[in-house]
Structure 1
Amino acid sequence: MVNVAVVIILLLPGVALSAAPPDASMPHLAQRHGAIQLIVGGQPFLMRAGELENSSASSLPYLDTLWPRLEAMHFNAVIAPVYWNLIEPQQGRFDFSTVDGLIEGARAHDMRLVLLWFGSWKNSMSSYVPAWVKRGASRYPRARRSDGTPMEILSALDQANLQADSAAFVALMKHLKQTDGQRHTVVMVQVENEVGMIPEARDHGPLADAAFHAPVPKALTDYLSKHKENLAPELEAAWRAHGFKTGADWEDTFGAGERTDELFTAWTEGRYTGEVAAAGKAVYPLPMYVNAALIRPGKRPGEYPSGGPLPHLFDVWRAAAPAVDFLAPDIYFPNFTEWGEKYALRGEPFFIPETGRVSGAQMGANGLHAYAQWNAMGYSPYAPEFLSPHDARAVGQAYDVVEQLTPLILAHQGSGKMVGMLPRTHFDGSVDLEPQSFVFGDYKVVASFRKPGSTSIGAKVDADASATHGGLIIQVGPNDFWFAGTGITVYFEPSGKGRSAVGIESIWEGRFIDGRWIAGREMNGDDTNQGRHLSLPDDEFSIRRVTLYHYH
C-alpha cells in the first residue's frame, strides 16, 4: 500500500478525436480513409475482445484460470473492471495489486486491455465505492427519491463525491503511466459504467432540486444553440415549444415532466463523468468512452437508466463531457442492427463493449457485420468465461476468421469497398430474411439468408433457413472479392442495364497463415450449384476468395 497525493484537475476543453497525443506511440484515435481507428504502437489495432463478468478481475488466481480459455477463443484484447473499493480501501492509500496482476496476465498472453472504471456508478448504482464512502453518507451524500428516501446512488451534484472519485481515477491513471507508459498494454478506458438514474428519472435531493430550479447552465444552452440544426428531434421539439429559451430553469426551458427530468440527469451525471475523465486524461491521455444501457420498447425514464448516453441524449452528453471521446452501446436486445446504426455515426468512433443473450454463432456473425458495416474498432461479448463449450467454439471460430482478415478489414474500413451482411432482427425476435443487395462497380451482389432448393428432380421447392446468418464482403479488385461468414448464399448479377451476365470464374476456400493466403479446395460443380452461386456453409465460419467475370 502506498500513499499517493492527488491533485484534482478541472474540466478542460475537449480535443479533436483524431488528434494524436504528444507521444504518437501512445494509444489514440485517428481518422484513416474515412474510418476512425484505434492506433496502438503506431499501427491500427482491431480488437477481438471479450468483457469479463463483473467479479472475475477481483481475484488474480481466478484470472489465471481464464487466460488460456480466452486465448483459445482468439482474443487479442480483454475488457476488465478496476474496482474503486479494492484500489482505495482507505482514503488516500492505494493498492494496485489487482491492476498490476491483470496487466501482467494480459502481457503474458499477448493481449491488450480496456479498463472499466467502476467508480461512482456501475449500472446506475454505487456498489463499487469504498466502504469509507458507503459509511460516510453525511460527507458523501446519496441521490434521493421524490419522497426523500436516499438511494444507494452517489449524488452527481455533490463536489465531495466528484473530488473523491476524481482523486482515485487520477491515481489510477498516474499508476498506469508509471507502469505501462512504455508497453501500452492498456489501450483505452471506460469511465464509470452504464450511467443513469433508477428507479426515478432524476435525483430529488436538496442540491439537485436547487440546481433543477436554477437556470439551465449556459454551457448547455450555448452548445444547443450552436448545434440547433442537428439536435435530436425530441430535444429540439421540447426546446422549440418553449421559445428556445436561455437563462430559464429546466421546466421553463424544456417543459415539465419526466423527459425534462431525464435531460437534467443527463447533464448532471454527464458533467460529473466528463470531469472525472478530464482529470484522468490530464495525467495520462488514453482514449476514453462511456457505455450505455439501452431501452426496451415502451419503458419510461427511471424504468431504464434515465439520463444515460442514449441517442436522444447525445447532444446533452456531448455538451456535458467533451473529454469523453465517444459513446458506446451495450447491445443485449435482439434488434442488434437497429441499435448499432444509432451509434455508428459517420465521423465518430464505434465500439461495442458488451453484447450477448444470443448464441455464440450469432455473436460471431454480429461481430463480422460490425467490423465491416460500421467500421467497429472492436467488438466484445460479455462474460466469455461463462460461455458454453459450444458457444465458446463458435465465437473462437468467428474470431479466428477476423484474425486472418484483420489486415484487409483495417485497410478497407471507411473505403466503401467493404460491407456487412446480416438480416435485421426485430425486438420481438422475428427475423427479416429478405435478400440484401450490394453494388460493387459492375457487379450487384445479392446475399440470401435462405438455402436454395435443390435442382434435383423431385426435391422440395421450399428453401430451408439456418439458425445463424452473417458475414462480410471485401472488394479488392474490379473482379476480385473476399467473402467470410456463415449461413449465406450469394448470387451475382450485373449492376447496370444491358444484355451481359455475370459468371463465377473461381471460388477458393483456404486460410491466411502468417498473413499469406494458403488456398485449399477450388469450390466448383456441386459446391456452387454448377456455377450458380457462392455458399458460406451453415454452422461454421469460413473464408472464400472469389473472382467474377462478365459475359454476353
Structure 2
Amino acid sequence: MESLPRIDKINSGFSFLVSGRPYIMLAAEVHNSACTSRKYMQQVWRKVRELNCNTVLAPVYWEFIEPQENHFDFNLVEQLISDARSQNMKLVLLWFGSWKNGLSTYAPNWVKTDLKRFPRTEDEHGVKTRILSMFQSHLLSAELNSFTNFIKYVKEFDADEQTVIAVQVENEVGVLGSARDFSSGADKEFNENVPDELLRSIKNAGSNGLSSVIIDYEDTSDQSWRNVFKKYADEAFMCWHYALHINKLAESGKECYALPMFTNAWQKEFDDERPGFYPSGGPLPEMLDVWKCAAPDLDVLCPDIYTFQFEKTAGLYTRSDNPLFIPETRRDKWAAANLYTAVGTYHTLCYAPFGAESIGEDKSFITQIIHTNPNDKNVSGEAVKEFLSKSYKLLGNMMPIITKFYGTDKMIGFTQNCGHMTKHVRLGKYQISVEFYHQIHDDNEFIPGAGIVIQNSENELIFIGYGYRAYPETVNISKQLDFLSLEKGTYDETGNWITYMRLNGDEQYIRMEEKPTIVKALYYEF
C-alpha cells in the first residue's frame, strides 16, 4: 500500500500529499442529498468531469450508515467510492453525523426519538431545540461507534486504491438560536472553571500573535468561563465542548485509518453578529485557538466562505499552525476569480464551490425553478462554468509548478474587486501594476478578472489568468526592465510548456486574454 495522503510542512507553509506528490484539490462539493441516489449522482459525475475537477467532496450520512443501532449498511459508501474510481476522481467524504449546519437532522431515528439517552440543547428560556446536546448524554459513545465502523470500512474497501483522501468530521457545528446550550447538564459544566490546559494554551497563543480571545485576561483566582472569556464566554464554552467531541471522533478514526481529518465553520455575515445568529461554537477565526487546544487531532480548521470578504477570511485561516482549506464557497461569478487568490496568495490545499451539479445553472436544485430573487447573489451561469472549468484545467496541468512555490514568497494571486479597475502587487524585485478590462458590479455579466504571477527564476515571470493587463517594473530605481522574450502558451497534462505564439513588436505587452491563459516573460535590467 502506498503512503497515505497527508499534510506536510513545506517551506514556510503546507502541502497536501497524494501518493507522495503535492496535490491541490481543484474540487466541488455536491448538494447535501445528492449521494442518497446513485442514479442522480450520474449527472453529478458528468458535471464534475466537465468542470475538470480532480476531487469531489461528498457527504455520507449517519442515518443511512446505522439505521438501527449496531446494524451497519455501507452500500451507499461503497457505491460512491466505486463510482468515483470509475471517473478517476479523488473523494473527500463529509461525515454528516450529530450536527450539520447547527442542527441534528442527519442523526438516525433511534437517536432522534430517544430523548432520555440523547437529550436536546435548550435555549435560555428552557425550550428544547432540534440540536443534540453533548451534556448528560450518550451521544459521543453512540456516534463514536458508528464513525469508527465507517472509517474501518473505508480502509477495508479503499486502502489499496486510496480514492478517499480526507474526511470532514461533522459540518458547521454550533448552536443556532442561542449563544449556548442552557440545559441543566450544560449549566453544570458552565459553572465549572475553565480547564487549566485551555488557559495555558490560549495565553501562549496570544503571546505568539495568534487570534487569542483572552489576551486581556488577568490571572486571578476566578477562572470561571464568564470571567476568563467575558463577552465570548458562552461561545468559547461551546467551542471547547464541540471540539472535544469532534477530536475524539478524529482521534479514534485515525487509529483505524490515518487519513487527514478536518472540520469546517459557518462564517459570520457581519463582524458584530451575535452567536446564535450563526452556529455558536464552531471554529470561527477568533475561536481558532480554543479549537486548536481541544482538537489537536484535526489536521485543519476550515472556513466555508460565502461572504464577499473572501481575502480577509482566507487570511485569518492561513496561519503557521493551520493551512487554508476551503471545502465550501460561492458558485457565482466569484467562483473562478477567488480561486486565483486562494491558490496564488494563500496556497490553499482545497478549493470547492458548493453545489457541483448547479455550477453553470441558474435554477433551484430542489424545485428546478429559475432563480428570480434579486437578493440571491449566489447564482451560477454558463460563463461561471466555462471560466471555472478552464481555470481548473490550466491550474491542474500546472500543479507540479504551482505546488513547488507553496510556502514561498515567489508566487502571488489577485482578484478584481467590485468597482475597481486596478491593482498593485509586489513579487520579489518586481512591482506589478494590474489593469482590468471590465468594471465589475452585481448587475453586470462580466466575470471578475483574476490572476497568479509566479517568479519562476530571477528574470522569468509566469502570468496566469484572464481579464487584465500587467505592467512589471523593477524596484531598483537605477534600472529599467525590458523583455528578452514573451511567449503565450500552455502546459500540457504532463507539465511540459507548449508555446503557441512568440510575441514581439506591437504585441510585446502582458495582455491576458478574456478567458484563462498563460504568458511567460523573460526580462533583463539595464
**What's the TM-score once normalised by structure 1's chain length?**
0.86
Contact 2:206/2:212 (8 A) holds in 1: no
Residues 321 and 158 (structure 1 numbering): CA distance in 2 closer, same or farther, change over 3 Å? farther
Contact 1:73/1:396 (8 A) holds in 2: yes
Report the Cα offset of residue 32 of structure 1: 2.2
Picking from 410, 415, 420, the partner of 1:422 is 415
Provide the rounded CA distance (Å) in 2 between the counterparts of 1:534 and 1:394: 20
Provide the rounded CA distance (Å) in 2 between the counterparts of 1:216 and 1:394: 49
* Aligned pairs for 1:381-420 within 5 A: 381-388=353-360, 389-420=382-413
Residues 409 and 234 (structure 1 numbering): CA distance in 2 closer, same or farther, change over 3 Å? closer
Picking from 193, 202, 205, the partner of 1:215 is 193
Aligned to 2:374: none
* Aligned pairs for 1:218-233 within 5 A: 218-230=196-208
Provide the rounded CA distance (Å) in 2 between the counterparts of 1:248 and 1:33: 39
Report the Cα offset of residue 231 of structure 1: 6.3
Report the Cα offset of residue 165 of structure 1: 1.1
Aligned to 2:224: 249
Aligned to 2:279: 305
Any unmatched runs of 5+ in structure 1? 1-22, 453-464
Contact 1:368/1:402 (8 A) holds in 2: no
Aligned to 2:513: 537
Aligned to 1:45: 23
Paired residues, number: 499
SS of alignment partner, residue 214 of structure 2: helix
Report the Cα offset of residue 42 of structure 1: 1.5
Deviations 1:60-95 (A, max 9, x none): 111122212211111110000010001110110111
* Aligned pairs for 1:140-219 within 5 A: 140-219=118-197
Contact 1:245/1:253 (8 A) holds in 2: no
Provide the rounded CA distance (Å) in 1 between the counterparts of 2:292 and 2:86: 38
What letter matches 2:386 in structure 1? R
Report the Cα offset of residue 504 of structure 1: 2.4
Picking from 477, 495, 514, the partner of 1:515 is 495
* Aligned pairs for 1:95-494 within 5 A: 95-230=73-208, 235-237=213-215, 240=217, 243-245=218-220, 248-255=223-230, 257=231, 259-297=232-270, 298-359=272-333, 362-388=334-360, 389-423=382-416, 425=417, 430-441=418-429, 443-450=430-437, 467-494=447-474
Contact 1:157/1:268 (8 A) holds in 2: no
Report the Cα offset of residue 245 of structure 1: 3.8
Provide the rounded CA distance (Å) in 2 between the counterparts of 1:415 and 1:317: 27
Provide the rounded CA distance (Å) in 1 between the counterparts of 2:103 and 2:87: 33
Residues 228 and 352 (structure 1 numbering): CA distance in 2 closer, same or farther, change over 3 Å? closer
Contact 1:503/1:550 (8 A) holds in 2: yes
Equivalent pairs: percent with the same residue?
33
Report the Cα offset of residue 222 of structure 1: 3.1
SS of alignment partner, residue 370 of structure 1: helix
Deviations 1:95-152 (A, max 9, x none): 1111111101110011110110100000010000001111111211111111111111
Aligned to 1:7: none
Matched, 1:74 2:74: no
Contact 2:30/2:44 (8 A) holds in 1: no
What letter matches 2:247 in structure 1? G
SS of alignment partner, residue 94 of structure 1: coil
Report the Cα offset of residue 522 of structure 1: 2.3
Contact 1:194/1:292 (8 A) holds in 2: yes
Matched, 1:84 2:58: no
Contact 2:96/2:171 (8 A) holds in 1: yes
Q: CA RMSD in A?
A: 2.1
Deviations 1:306-340 (A, max 9, x none): 12101110111111111111111111111111111
Residues 233 and 352 (structure 1 numbering): CA distance in 2 closer, same or farther, change over 3 Å? closer
Provide the rounded CA distance (Å) in 2 between the counterparts of 1:522 and 1:175: 54
Any unmatched runs of 5+ in structure 2? 361-381, 440-444
Contact 1:421/1:447 (8 A) holds in 2: no
Deviations 1:394-452 (A, max 9, x none): 210110111121111011112221111224x4xxxx444442131333x3322223579
Contact 2:305/2:330 (8 A) holds in 1: yes
Matched, 1:504 2:480: no
Contact 1:231/1:315 (8 A) holds in 2: no
Look at both structures and tell me which one has the larger radius of gyration over its CA atoms.
1
Report the Cα offset of residue 158 of structure 1: 3.8
Deviates more, 1:33-42 or 1:191-200: 33-42
Aligned to 2:524: 549
Aligned to 1:459: none
SS of alignment partner, residue 253 of structure 1: helix
Provide the rounded CA distance (Å) in 2 between the counterparts of 1:201 and 1:96: 36
Report the Cα offset of residue 347 of structure 1: 4.9
SS of alignment partner, residue 200 of structure 2: helix
**What's the TM-score once normalised by structure 2's chain length?**
0.90
Residues 279 and 358 (structure 1 numbering): CA distance in 2 closer, same or farther, change over 3 Å? same
Provide the rounded CA distance (Å) in 2 between the counterparts of 1:160 and 1:126: 15
Provide the rounded CA distance (Å) in 2 between the counterparts of 1:77 and 1:158: 39
Deviations 1:8-56 (A, max 9, x none): xxxxxxxxxxxxxxx8711111112333111111111111110111111
